[in-house]
Structures are given as structure tokens and as C-alpha cells.
Chain A
Amino acid sequence: MEIFSEHFKKDHMLSKVDARLKLGVSLFVLAMVLSYKGIVFPLLILCVSLAVCVRIKIPMRMFLLRFSEPVFIASVIILLKFLFSGQEAMFSIKIFGIVITGYKDGLTDGLQIACRILGAVSIIAVLGFSTPFTEIMAALSWMRFPRSFIEILMLAYRYIFVLLEDAMVIYNAQKNRLGYSSIRRGLGSFGTLAGSLMLKAFEHSHNITVSMIQRGYDGNMPALKHKPFKLSEVAVSALAITAIGIIWKI
């Protein structure tokens, strides 16, 4: 769970920027990456995002962990499009009676999608690495996300860590009693672990409700407060969006 941004260094160039602006710019650039036909713009966004991650001192391990899944998926997509989709054959070979054909247009499409994935993931990586969860929630609340949805998000986020600790205790106890010594036993233990977590969730929810009612809870949590925008930050964000928009258009 160290991947959650709260565990990283907090005093960097993006830490004090308003989360609403960071989220807004990220969504705008994401839309541009998705609607771009080609590989140059997503690759440029990837490079800029990587540079920002290096600048705000994200540990390399975290960075690689974050990109391992998207890189894998991008590789599979390239393979699928190259070998199964297209009209213009690039090569054709016969191995053990199976004809394998690679398509040029399929490869181009695959590379385009792969670049789109990496570009889009890098934008969210910068947002996630530079913004604490609670600030993102406040930004979503400002964007008129339903209040109940934000409340559920906050409760879930708060109790992920509590339940994870419970899960680790149960898992270690099971492991010490050879609960994962075979696939069959492992499955049984995993089912018990997941069921125990659900029971813990029921218990915790009861305890939270009791303590919240004692503090005046009537079914709704207090609304999140928003600070006014800083003019300089708004101006820089507008400039960044304009510049990225011009590059996208070119």
C-alpha cells in the first residue's frame, strides 16, 4: 500500500497546486490523448509525465510497479493487432504447418493504441503520485460528484488500511498453520480469509455507526470545504492547457 501518494515526499513543485486544477488539466489532456490519431502526442505526454515523476522524486520501484501492468497490456495489444488484424501483409511464415502473417496496418494500429495507453497512464500516474486522496475527493466534490458517492469513497479509503492489517494478521496465522501448503488448502484458506474480512467489515461498520451517532451523525457527513482558486495557478493551468492543445492540433 506504499503506492498511495501520502507515503511520498510532500514538498515538491506540484504538492501545493490546487487538486481541482490538477484533476481538470489531467482530464483535459486525457481527452486529447484518447482522441489523437498517431503516436507522437501520446509519446510526448509520456516523456513530459516521466520527467515530472523524476522531478518530484518518485521512487523508481513504485514507478516500475505502476507501469508493469500497462506495459504488459500494451505488448499484448500490439501482438494481437499485428498478427490478427489488418489487410497489408508484412511477412508470412509457416511454422509446424501454421501460417503466421504479420500485418503492417495492424502493427501501426497496435503501436498507436500502445502509445495511447502509456500516455494516458502516465498522466494519471502524475496525478496519483502528486495528490493526496483526500484532496482528489475534495476536487470531485467540487465537480458536483454525488455526496453519497464521495462519502462511500472516503469510508472505503479510510478502512482499506484497517482491513488490510486484519487481512495480514489472518493470512500470517493461516500460513503458520500450513494453510497455503497445497492448492486445495490454499483455496480453502483464501475463502476463509475473504469471509473473515467480510465479517470484520460488518463489525467495523457497526462500531463506526455507533461512534458517529454519538458525534451527531444523522446519515450525512459534513460537506468538504473548498478554498478559493489562486489566480496564478489558474493562469499557469490555462497556459499549460493552451500549449498542450496547440501541440495536439499540430
Chain B
Amino acid sequence: MRLQIANFKFILLIAAFCSSLFTATDVYAMHISEGILPFNWALLWSLIAIPFVAWGLYRLKKLSAVDLSFKPLVGLMAAVVFIISCMPIPVPTAGTCSHPCGTGISGILVGPAISILIAAVALLIQSLFLAHGGLTTWGANIISMGVMGSFAGFLTFRALRSLKINMAVSGFMAGLFADWATYLTTSVELASGIRGDSPFMPLFWKILIAFIPTQLPLGILEGAMTAGMVVLLYKKRPDLLVKMRVLKAEEVAA
């Protein structure tokens, strides 16, 4: 037991060290960097990501057949997600800047299928030109940021709205859970990819704890950002939220 407490203290020490490293450079902790995952894991995550992206493309084809402006809208939303996930925001506990993922808001607005596609597009541009993420880790990043982030954001928002929770709180919780779901999945992917012959669970917990100093407050900040976005859209263009099926027409009228 004593040994476990000492181990925990040590992990916290390493977490503090990692946060001090974060001060030296902007952190893009949401994306798994190029080359981290060995070939078999990179391939496995890519194969898992393919059906989700295919589902997004299927939904896109279906929706853009009805509304010609839908494809340009998805393209522009991908550009917004790209910009949001490149924007530095302050992380008070680390005393530095980090970056939100932006799939919480896209999940809320266009649903998880299209949001996964948007994440895939933003991640590909980032990996090719900014070295955020990578081509070999594209699949893994689509799963963590696109699939888990979008589903967490979408489901949280819908669940809270069905309980008549207001827009700001629903948006905040959706952003928070989208961010934390992304970070949790990234930890699973990292631990499984780099563990070698070591057992999975101990390394997973260590990675999870090492990321806490930045990702915990970052989730709260992403929640605040998502709430701000949802509230602004609600105030300025509620018709768009109705068109995107985020709100019902009677909710706007009320």
C-alpha cells in the first residue's frame, strides 16, 4: 500500500514535470503524433476508422442531394474546426496555452456522422502541413477526436436538452465531455501502442495522470467555448439551429 502511494506521488511529480515542459511549447495533446504507433496498431485504428468515415460520406451524399448548400457548409465547418483546433487558449494550471478539439460543437450542429467526416478533413490538413497528428496516426486520431469527441458532444447535448436543461449548460457539458472523451481515448490508443511487452493498465493510468494538468482544465475551457458558441448562435441565428435540427421550431418561438 505504501509503495502504491509512493508510486502515485511519483506519477504526480512526472505530471508536474510534463506540465513544466508544456510551458516551453504549445501543446497539441489531442493528436497522436506521426510515428508513435507501430505499424500493426496504426493499421488497426485506420481500419476501425474507415466505416465511420464511410458513414459520414454516406450521410453527406444523402443530405447534399436534398440541399445543395450542405456540402459547402460541411467544407466551411471543417475549416472552422481546423482553425479552432489551432487556436491557443490559456490553461491556468499549466501556465501555458493548449488547443480545443472543436468536434463537440460540430457534433451538436451537424450530428456525429458528418462531424466525424469534418474531423477527418481537419486532421488530414493538420497532419500534412502543421505536423499535428500524422498520416499513420490519422485513423487513431479520427477515432479519438472524430468518433469519440463527436458522439460525446452530440449525446451529452441531446440528453441534457431532453431534460430541459438550458442551452448554455448543455453546450458547456457537451464541450467538456467531448474534450475528455477525446483525451481518454487518446490515452487508450497511446498506452496500447507504446506498451511493448508491459501490461496495458498500469501504463494507461500513468499516461492518463500525466495528461491531467493540461487536459482537465482544457476540458472546462472547451466547455466554456462550446457554451459561448451555442448561446451566440441561439441569440443571433436561431433559424440555423432549427434548420440543423438542434432546436425545434416551437422552442425558438417560446
A218 to B34, CA, bound (A): 38
Inter-subunit contact B194/A84 (CB<8 Å): no
- Count of A-B contacts with CB under 8 A? 265
Q: From residue B164, how far is it (CB to closest CB) to chain A in Å? A: 23
Inter-subunit contact A27/B72 (CB<8 Å): no
Question: What residue of chain B has the Cβ atom nearest to residue A217's Cβ?
Answer: B68
Inter-subunit contact B128/A127 (CB<8 Å): yes
A218 to B77, CA, bound (A): 21
Inter-subunit contact B37/A205 (CB<8 Å): no
Query: Is B145 on the interface with A (CB-CB < 8 A)?
Result: no
Contact of A151 among B75, B82, B134 (CB under 8 A): B75
* Chain B CB within 10 Å, residue with most, of A192, A197, A198: A198
Kindly list chain B residues whose C-beta atoms are within 8 Å of the C-beta of A149: 53, 57, 117, 120-121
Digit string of A150-165 for contact with B (CB within 8 Å is 1, else 0)? 0111111111101110
Please judge, given known A-B contacts A35-B38, A155-B71, A160-B82, whether A30 and B194 are in contact too, CB under 8 Å. Answer: no
Query: Is A222 on the interface with B (CB-CB < 8 A)?
Result: no
Inter-subunit contact B69/A209 (CB<8 Å): yes
Query: Is B252 on the interface with A (CB-CB < 8 A)?
Result: no
Digit string of A193-205 for contact with B (CB within 8 Å is 1, else 0)? 0111111011011
Query: Is A213 on the interface with B (CB-CB < 8 A)?
Result: yes
Kindly list chain A residues whose C-beta atoms are within 8 Å of the C-beta of B25: 68-69, 72
A84 to B18, CA, bound (A): 14
Q: From residue B55, how far is it (CB to closest CB) to chain A in Å? A: 12
Which residues 1-38 of B have a CB within 8 angstroms of A?
6, 9-10, 13-14, 17-18, 21, 24-28, 33-38
Contact of B198 among A85, A117, A128 (CB under 8 A): A85
Please judge, given known A-B contacts A83-B14, A160-B82, A199-B233, whether A116 and B121 are in contact too, CB under 8 Å. Answer: no
Please judge, given known A-B contacts A34-B39, A191-B227, A205-B69, whether A98 and B125 are in contact too, CB under 8 Å. Answer: no
Please judge, given known A-B contacts A187-B224, A194-B84, whether A73 and B10 are in contact too, CB under 8 Å. Answer: no
Q: From residue A196, how far is it (CB to closest CB) to chain B in Å? A: 7
A34 to B137, CA, bound (A): 11
Binds B, one of A52-60, A118-126, A226-234: A118-126
Q: From residue B77, how far is it (CB to closest CB) to chain A in Å? A: 6
Digit string of A72-94 for contact with B (CB within 8 Å is 1, else 0)? 11111101110111100000000
Binds A, one of B155-163, B176-184, B203-211: B203-211
A199 to B73, CA, bound (A): 11
Inter-subunit contact B33/A208 (CB<8 Å): no
Query: Is B232 on the interface with A (CB-CB < 8 A)?
Result: yes
A92 to B230, CA, bound (A): 52
Query: Is B148 on the interface with A (CB-CB < 8 A)?
Result: no
26 pairs, CB–CB < 8 Å, chain A vs chain B: A3-B129, A30-B135, A34-B136, A72-B27, A80-B194, A80-B203, A84-B206, A98-B10, A124-B34, A124-B128, A127-B128, A148-B57, A148-B64, A152-B75, A153-B125, A160-B82, A163-B80, A187-B89, A187-B221, A188-B228, A194-B228, A195-B236, A201-B76, A202-B76, A202-B240, A212-B72
Lowest 4 A-B CB distances belong to which pairs? A191-B228, A155-B75, A120-B35, A195-B232
